[in-house]
Amino acid sequence: MGLHFIRQALRQDERALILTTASSRASAELAASLGFDFAPHFESGRLTIRESASFTAGSDTAHWSNLPPEGFDRLRGLIETHGIRRVLLDTVLPWVAVPRMDMVA
């Protein structure tokens, strides 16, 4: 459903961002395998894929951590700088406040 949301943005000539816990390359390959040809949109700069780990604290570790306020500021800056109109969060887990790790499941 999220990829349809992004495809519609691109059809409407809007800039879009996919923020994912997977690698950018894996996300692009998955989209292509499902019939979403986003390659021209990457090349034109209308579609950006970023790994959410680049915005989260402790991104070099294997555990989930809460996003610090600076991460939201960096994300907002990316959105504003690139004129992004639609954002797909794939998955939202790093973006929610989880007080205890046993609550993640």
For the chain, give the percent of residues with pLDDT over 90.
41
Report whether pLDDT(62) > 50: no
Q: Is the dihedral of CA 20, 23, 28, 31 positive or negative?
A: negative
Query: What's the whole-model pTM score?
Result: 0.74
Give the pLDDT confidence of 81-91 residue by residue, as tens digits.
Answer: 999 999 998 86
Quick one: DSSP state of residue 21?
S
The pLDDT score that the predictor gives to residue 47 is 94
Nearest CA-CA partner of 28 in 44, 11, 15, 40: 40
Sheet of 84-90: strands edge to edge?
Answer: 47-51, 15-20, 84-90
The pLDDT score that the predictor gives to residue 4 is 94
